[in-house]
């Protein structure tokens, strides 16, 4: 009987949260931005707002398994960048600085004051790391999920391929083929998605210097890694072992990402062998726990 009572209370609480969720367009200078807020009515003074930044061309629905649980202990905001999901496109280049300014303008328009915990996935992880360069004073923490690897240089990129025992010219050819595949895949995308892909490629070509030239502020920072190899067999190479190459990339990236979290007082590396690239979908409990810890550690540092 008691178990059923608590289940009823929990479901009732979730219903209240859903009732207070607001999905709407926000009029910005050049476009309408589609947003969803949850738990704003319960926000206390000084409490961080959790803002979610999606990956390349990905609508905000990819956070649906996470935001309800996070809203039990923090107010949340999800949104679609211009030209993604339901948001209107606008004529701008989604650079790190422009996306950061766009987000700040949106939060100002909504009168949602800092501090913010930014949660970014894939390209969104690159964007939130860039935000830390441009607006460090507004941040309470970062949760960076399986990001485009902003620690990667062209030099250490070749380290992944040592397991193949190939000549350097053959490795260079393979790396270029990956770039060509990404460019070809991006070629027929809508303009806003194509621009995001171009921005990421330009950052890679420059060894992500726009990010790495500025150290992180001393805030809680988590790197969350998905370790499941997801490539379907029909797409795997017949010339080399794709899973072995994937494991090599994970190994080298974790080594560099450890340096990232060790650069702050409250850093943490979280690995899920059960999750593919979309950790927030495959292992939402891990992401929820990460956000909760970042929230707690932020107040510890105050």
Structure tokens at 60: 């905000």
* CA atoms in the 13 A half-sphere facing the CB of 104: 17
User: Is residue 12's pLDDT more than 70?
Assistant: no
In a domain, 39, yes or no: yes
Give the domain extent around 255. 22-301
Task: Answer whether residue 107 is part of any domain.
Answer: yes
Query: Which neighbouring-strand residues pair with 76?
Result: 38, 50
**Token pair of 194, please?**
């194509």
pLDDT 10s digits, 274-301: 999 999 999 999 999 999 999 999 999 8
In a domain, 253, yes or no: yes
Query: Does residue 111 belong to any structural domain of this protein?
Result: yes
pLDDT number for residue 20: 55
| 205, pLDDT greater than 60 | yes
Residue 17 maps to a domain: no
- Confidence band of 183 (pLDDT split at 50, 70, 90): confident
pLDDT at 265: 96
> 9 lies in a domain?
no
- Please, are residues 133 and 211 in contact by the beta-carbon 8 Å criterion? yes
Secondary structure of residue 216 in the 3-state scheme: coil
158 confidence band (pLDDT: 50, 70, 90): confident
Q: What is the mean pLDDT of the chain?
A: 92
Number of domains in the chain: 1
Q: How far is Cα of residue 80 from the mean position of the Cα atoms in its chain?
A: 13
82-105 pLDDT, tens digit per residue, is 999 999 999 999 999 999 999 999
User: Taking the mean position of all CA atoms in its chain, how far away is CA 149?
Assistant: 11
Burial of 2 (C-beta count, 10 Å sphere; 0-12/13-18/19+): exposed
Read off the CATH number of the domain in which 237 is found: 3.40.50.1820
The answer to whether residue 243 sits within a structural domain is yes
Question: In sequence order, which residues have a C-beta less than 8 Å from that of residue 247 and are 6 or more positions away?
Answer: 229
Structure-model confidence comparison of residues 95 and 31, the more confident one: 95
Instruction: Look at residue 15 in the predicted model and tell me its pLDDT.
Output: 45
């Amino acid at each position: 009987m008691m178990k059923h009572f608590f289940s009823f209370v929990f479901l009732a609480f979730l219903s209240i949260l859903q009732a207070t969720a607001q999905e709407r367009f926000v009029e910005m200078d050049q476009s309408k931005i589609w947003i969803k807020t949850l738990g704003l009515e319960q926000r206390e003074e000084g409490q961080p707002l959790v803002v979610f930044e999606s990956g390349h061309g990905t609508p905000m629905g990819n956070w649906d398994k996470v935001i309800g649980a996070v809203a039990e202990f923090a107010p949340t905001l999800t949104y679609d960048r211009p030209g993604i999901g339901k948001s209107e496109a606008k004529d701008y280049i989604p650079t790190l600085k422009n996306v950061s300014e766009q987000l700040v303008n949106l939060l100002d328009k909504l009168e949602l004051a800092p501090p913010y915990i930014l949660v970014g996935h894939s390209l969104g992880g690159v964007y939130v790391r860039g935000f830390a360069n441009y607006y460090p004073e507004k941040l309470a923490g970062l949760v960076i999920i399986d990001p485009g690897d902003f620690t990667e240089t062209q030099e250490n990129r070749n380290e992944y391929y040592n397991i193949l025992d190939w000549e350097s010219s053959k490795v260079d050819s393979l790396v270029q083929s990956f770039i060509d595949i990404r460019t070809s895949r991006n070629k027929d995308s809508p303009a806003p998605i194509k621009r995001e892909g171009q921005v990421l490629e330009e950052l890679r070509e420059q060894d992500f210097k726009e990010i790495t030239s500025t150290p992180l502020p001393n805030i809680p920072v988590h790197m969350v890694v998905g370790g499941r190899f997801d490539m379907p067999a029909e797409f795997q190479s017949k010339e080399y072992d794709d899973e072995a190459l994937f494991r090599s990339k994970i190994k080298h990236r974790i080594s560099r990402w450890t340096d990232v979290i060790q650069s702050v007082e409250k850093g943490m590396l979280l690995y899920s062998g059960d999750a593919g690239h979309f950790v927030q979908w495959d292992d939402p409990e891990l992401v929820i726990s990460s956000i909760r810890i970042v929230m707690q550690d932020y107040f510890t540092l105050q």
